[in-house]
């Protein structure tokens, strides 16, 4: 059996040759999965002459075929929670963690004891699980229509107190109009003619979780906006993820639907990947933004003449 250090070097080289973006990290995470330890522990073991775990070569070969790392390990980390994932469900991305943060910051500022939060198009349940874990007392409803994704979400949301609703987010919350404090959504938004470059996405994420339909991928974001506007109480907040180049269009959709205080928000790399808006209250022309650092619907800082976000 080869030493772990040598096996990791070989795995890194094989994954790099296959075009895997983070070959060393993935090699270490695969070894950690097989050993049942953390990645940090794998790095330490590699310095002590420990043996490589059985099965590492097979997993590396599958990863080299661009099978998603999370499908091989069966787990994906999202903020403070670990999720079970696999074929048939969208793998949560780091940029969505920033979308959740916008909502959590707003909730903390609002000081609500038991906020009602809806996650439209929950997929694996990532957003709903994170909110339930990080906002004690929150009453969270997660909506999903894909049967495969529902099975994963049910597994991930078991014991969290989240209510999982099977249905299209356009109609699933009928009868609960005006009752939610926050709606968070990461709807499908990829334009129908824009096939993702990465094989992990193009070949393994479910198409229904990727492609946003007509209008350059904005059909589903527009539908989610309308559903959120109906579900939210006056003064309630919508936070939506979208592609970087869709920011201006999504802002127009929110404003046209009736949201005010529309703001753009960056992800961890500074890209404009989310937009928020508030349902107006009686006599309120422009409610406070979700994030005072955000830009308004014209692309400017609400308090100064800043530059629009890239």
The span from the CA of 235 to the CA of 224, in Å, is 18
The span from the CA of 16 to the CA of 114, in Å, is 48
The region that residue 98 occupies, defined by phi over 0 for left and psi between -120 and 50 for alpha, beta otherwise, is: alpha
Domain membership of residue 307 (yes or no) is: no
Give the predicted TM-score (pTM) of the model. Answer: 0.88
Q: 106 and 22 share a domain?
A: no
Q: 31 and 161 share a domain?
A: no
Domain membership of residue 72 (yes or no) is: no
User: What's 199's domain CATH number?
Assistant: 3.40.50.150
Q: 98 and 189 share a domain?
A: yes
State the alpha helices, DSSP H only, in 18-138: 23-35, 39-46, 56-64, 69-73, 94-110, 126-134
CB 29 within 8 A of CB 72: no
The whole domain housing 148 covers 80-278
Q: 14 and 154 share a domain?
A: no
Q: 125 and 42 share a domain?
A: no
Domain membership of residue 294 (yes or no) is: no
């330890």: which residue's tokens? 37
Q: How many domains does the chain have?
A: 2
Per-position pLDDT tens, the chain of length 310: 799 999 999 999 999 999 999 999 999 999 999 999 999 999 999 999 999 999 999 999 999 999 999 999 999 999 999 999 999 999 999 999 999 999 999 999 999 989 999 999 999 999 999 999 999 999 999 999 999 999 999 999 999 999 999 999 999 999 999 999 999 999 999 999 888 889 999 999 999 999 999 889 999 999 999 999 999 999 999 999 999 999 999 999 999 999 999 999 998 889 999 999 999 997 655 544 454 334 433 333 332 322 222 2
Q: At which of 42, 65, 88 does a domain end? A: 65
The span from the CA of 85 to the CA of 224, in Å, is 24
Q: 262 and 153 share a domain?
A: yes
CB 37 within 8 A of CB 52: no
Q: 125 and 31 share a domain?
A: no
The span from the CA of 240 to the CA of 229, in Å, is 12
Helices and strands: H and E segment counts in the chain: 13, 9
Q: 269 and 176 share a domain?
A: yes
Pairing state between β 232-241 and 180-185: parallel
Q: 146 and 13 share a domain?
A: no
């Amino acid at each position: 059996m080869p030493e772990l250090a040598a096996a990791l070097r070989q795995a890194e080289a094989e994954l790099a040759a296959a075009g895997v973006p983070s070959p060393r990290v993935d090699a270490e995470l695969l070894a950690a999965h097989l050993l049942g330890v953390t990645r940090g522990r794998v790095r330490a073991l590699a310095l002590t002459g420990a043996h490589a775990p059985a099965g590492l070569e097979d997993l590396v070969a599958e990863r080299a075929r661009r099978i998603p790392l999370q499908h091989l390990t069966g787990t994906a980390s999202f903020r403070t929670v670990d999720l079970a994932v696999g074929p048939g469900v969208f793998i949560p991305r780091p940029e969505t963690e920033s979308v959740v943060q916008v909502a959590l910051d707003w909730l903390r500022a609002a000081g609500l004891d038991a906020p009602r939060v809806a996650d439209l198009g929950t997929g694996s349940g990532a957003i709903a699980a994170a909110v339930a874990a990080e906002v004690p007392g929150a009453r969270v409803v997660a909506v999903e229509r894909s049967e495969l994704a529902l099975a994963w979400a049910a597994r991930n949301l078991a014991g969290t107190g989240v209510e999982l609703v099977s249905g299209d987010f356009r109609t699933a919350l009928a009868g609960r109009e005006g009752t939610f404090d926050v709606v968070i959504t990461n709807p499908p938004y990829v334009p129908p003619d824009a096939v993702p470059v990465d094989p992990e996405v193009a070949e393994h994420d479910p198409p229904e979780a990727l492609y946003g339909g007509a209008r350059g991928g904005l059909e589903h974001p527009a539908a989610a906006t309308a559903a959120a506007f109906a579900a939210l109480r006056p003064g309630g907040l919508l936070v939506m993820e979208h592609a970087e180049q869709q920011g201006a269009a999504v802002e127009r959709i929110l404003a046209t639907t009736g949201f005010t205080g529309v703001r753009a928000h960056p992800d961890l790399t500074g890209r404009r990947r989310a937009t928020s808006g508030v349902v107006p209250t009686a006599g309120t022309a422009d409610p406070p933004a979700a994030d005072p650092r955000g830009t308004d619907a014209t692309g400017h800082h609400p308090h100064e003449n800043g530059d629009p976000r890239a």
